[in-house]
Amino acid sequence: MTERAEIRTEGRCGTQADREPSRGACPAVFIAAPASGQGKTTVTAALARMLRNQGKVVRVFKTGPDYLDPLVLAQASGQPVDQLDLWMAGEAYCRQRLYEAALEADLILVEGAMGLFDGEPSSADLAALFDLPMVIVMDVKGMAQTAAALVAGLAGFRDDIRIAGLIANACGSQRHRELIEAALPAAIPLLAAVERNANLALPERHLGLVQADEIREDLETRFEAGAKALLAEGLADALLQLPPVTFDAVPDNHTAIPPALLGHTIGVARDAAFSFIYQANLDLLERMGATLRFFSPLSDGCLPPCDALWLPGGYPELHAAQLAANESMRDDIRRFFAADKPILAECGGMLYCLETLTDYDDRAHTMLGLLSGHGAMRGRRGCQGMQTAELPEGPVRAHAHHRSVAEGTSAPIAHGRRQRHPAPGEAIYRERRLTASYLHLFFPDNPAAVARLFEQGPVPALQTIDTEESHGCD
């Protein structure tokens, strides 16, 4: 047996903890797989829609620092979808989110990330910590009895996880199903066999799934087809009849958030180019008293009245020509920058702040020019990894995921600190009140540092770290 990876358990903040009762319980299932690309999100979305169509409240969570899957799952379930990550968010945060969901849901679904045991902490670590029964989703194309052997191996790899059954994805025929089912251990039932059908799979692009808002009607068709297929397998009754899982509320000292941003208005870029936004980040800003004003760098002519700006990640490379053409917005952001007002630019937002951005067609487009340097896409090779942003305001846990490179930049003030590697991580830049990096920050990890980042006034100084610049590839 392998030992469970070490996780951070103290947690720095959660959500409202002043409600009763102090324990919540409802059926809950962890959707896992032996590897990426097995159809976890497709199946999770279909399950959520199937139960939603029956009038049930389904709360869905996504394991890890994922932006795209939660948008798809939120559309399928009709409920907000939060990320759960034991390293980035901490046990207390995850526990409180699950507790609150259990107070209102008929069923909780947690979709895993990568393979079941991949990463530190892994999907298995999260499921084991909260005693969540696991359903394995496996693409069974090209195998039969071997699928049963793989499931049996997953079930026996650790003694602190529970496998509730298998959903065989991309099943070729009734006979294919029978071969798999007959070979499974008696304790692991075949819950469903989903036929091979390209109309059920969710569309993808270079950083993952296509954004839900871009293909909303197409997704609806796929959700309904998937829900119909799973309903025919009798999955609704099987899931709802699972024994409830109990979640305890987190003590108040983990959830109290001071109103450090009371009276502050923060402009948040949100459109097809800038959409990588944790709902937890927005919730925290509002709990700290901030008023949020959303705007579109693609289509709006000017900024909303605000005291600070947040330019999150997204797909500026797909919309670079339109961003460049919106000169009135670019001029307004430049004036905001010149007035020494706080700006946080993450990943795609940082690319927008550079002088130019070269897209996949090798065309260079003029960007804001708040930072020296030029951004360019670089094919399929990407950078990703969990890191702590070593900001002057304080450390904030974060992650990187990009397929671009920033060249010709000025010296960074610091680098991200990798989760388990000594090499410096993503560069962190600061010009006037602009803070920019490839890192996506998880605000609830350190609310006090985030508040200082968006507040007016001088910024704490930090000596430049004398290390070779790295762009965060693990």
Active-site annotation, residues? 347
Domain parsing of the chain, residue ranges: 23-248, 257-454
What is the second-level CATH architecture of the domain 257-454?
3-Layer(aba) Sandwich (3.40)
Q: Name 173's Cβ contacts closer than 8 Å, sequence gap at least 6.
A: none
Task: Compute the distance between CA of residue 234 and CA of residue 50 in angstroms, rounded to an integer.
Answer: 11
Q: What is the reported pTM?
A: 0.86
Q: Name 156's Cβ contacts closer than 8 Å, sequence gap at least 6.
A: none
pLDDT tens for the chain, 474 residues: list them. Answer: 333 333 443 433 333 434 457 889 999 999 999 999 999 999 999 999 999 999 999 999 999 888 888 989 999 999 999 999 999 999 999 999 999 999 999 999 999 999 999 998 999 999 999 999 999 999 999 999 999 999 999 999 999 999 999 999 999 999 999 999 999 999 999 999 999 876 777 665 444 445 545 556 788 999 999 999 999 999 999 999 999 999 999 886 556 788 999 999 999 999 999 999 999 999 999 999 999 999 999 999 999 999 999 999 999 999 999 999 999 999 999 999 999 999 999 999 999 999 999 998 899 999 999 999 999 987 655 567 899 999 999 999 999 987 889 999 999 999 999 988 888 899 999 999 999 999 999 999 999 999 999 997 655 554 443 333 333 333
Report the b/e string of 154-189 with b at 16+ CB within 10 A.
bbeebeebebbbbbbbbbeeeebbebbbebbeeebe
Instruction: Say yes or no: do domains 23-248 and 257-454 share a fold.
Output: yes
What length is written for the chain?
474
What is the second-level CATH architecture of the domain 23-248?
3-Layer(aba) Sandwich (3.40)
Task: Compute the distance between CA of residue 361 and CA of residue 106 in angstroms, rounded to an integer.
Answer: 48
